[in-house]
A = this chain, B = another copy of it.
Amino acid sequence: MKNLLAFAMILLGGAVPLAAQNGAALAPAQIVAAAPRADWRPIASKDLLVMELAPDASGKARRVVIQLLPPPFSQGWIDNIRTLAAAHWWDGLAVTRVQDNYVAQWGDPDGEDKAKARPLPPGLNVVPEQDYTAPLDQSVPAAALILPHGDAYAPHTLLQGGWPLGRDAGGQWPVHCYGMVGVGRNLSPDTGSGAELYAVIGHAPRHLDRNIALVGRVIEGIELLSSLPRGTGALGVYETRAEQVPIRSLRLGNAVPGLPAYEYLATDTATFARYADARANRHDAFFIHPAGGADICNVPVPVRRVPAR
């Protein structure tokens, strides 16, 4: 298995923290494994969404955990999602679409049929398009790690408050990296309510930045969505009810008994800066040609279950 294990050097977050190679620089996963406890920040359970899909064919439970974006990003849609989760609105609905190298999407299979659609709870916000972008945080760059590398989609990319962002002179916005969760919508000026959600399961579709609301990211269980069979209908839509994957429940984390606690590696720490630099400049044993850069979506923010203390 040496061919496989050699890949240990090119991976973030292998299952086992890697022993330092003799004389070689630390790999990103090693830097993360050595992070001081104080560099990890808690994620409040009220800022998590927990989606329980129906068990798989072998009876195994399938849980997807999503972290919601903090202010000032997308709070109108996130308020709606809190309302929908509190109303148990998604229970019994389904994953309805899985398109290869793009998205897995869930919501009401009958959402476009007025006679059959599940009614939305009262009080949902109608959010305007300008909320795709948040005002510039004047504390940037002090509290952010700005990636000094080229990006095809934004004048600047940065990691701030634990999130990957794009930025220009007018504002900043979350970006569509692998695992990010967004709000399906119809044609503009509709921005979606938050009832129809998708997760990115392929190469970052960054052209969606500022065109669709992002509301969070999958921090556990993305592989349960990304390994689902692709729908054979146009755009990966499941063509029959039998193909759809039922949602047992979707709850805010503080409504889920026994939910583990989660932490993320704070992006304003020296550890994170070392980790990002190691992602951009691989000097560990496997590599012969460090890239000299990394795109924002190849510097994923490490998240872990809180270890025993």
Contacts and interface: CB of A to CB of B under 8 A. Distances in A.
Contact of A111 (B3, B192, B234): B3
6 contacts: A3-B186, A10-B207, A15-B233, A100-B227, A188-B287, A210-B288
A70 interface: no
Contacts of A187: 6, 9, 285-286
A107 interface: yes
Interface residues of A, number: 81
Contact of A235 (B5, B192, B196): B5
Contact of A15 (B11, B152, B234, B295): B234
Contacts of A192: 3
A102 B11 CA distance: 9
A137 interface: no
B204 A203 contact: yes
A305 interface: no
A203 B188 contact: no
Contacts of A292: 153
A152 B2 contact: no
